[in-house]
Copies of this chain bind each other. A is one copy, B any other.
Amino acid sequence: MNKKREIASSVKDESLIEKRREQMIRGAVTLFKEKGFHRTTTREIAKAAGFSIGTLYEYIRTKEDVLYLVCDSIYDEVHTRLDRLDIEQGSINVLVTAIEHYYTLIDDMQDEFVVMYQESKSLPKDALSYVLNKEIEMVALFERLLTQCVDNGEIKMTPKEVVMASHHLFVQGQMWAFRRWALRDFTIQEFIDMQTKFLLQGMAGENISIQGA
Contacts and interface: CB of A to CB of B under 8 A. Distances in A.
A183 B182 CA distance: 27
B194 A201 contact: no
Given A167-B182, A205-B205, A210 B193 contact: yes
Work out how many copies of this chain go into the complex: 4
Interface in A85-126: 92-93, 96, 118, 121-122
Contact of A202 (B163, B202, B206): B202
Interface residues of A, number: 47
Contact of A168 (B172, B185, B208, B210): B172
A127 interface: no
Contacts of A204: 201, 205, 208
Interface of A: 36, 38-39, 92-93, 96, 118, 121-122, 136, 139, 160-161, 163-164, 167-168, 171-172, 174-175, 179, 182-183, 185-186, 190-191, 193-194, 196-202, 204-213
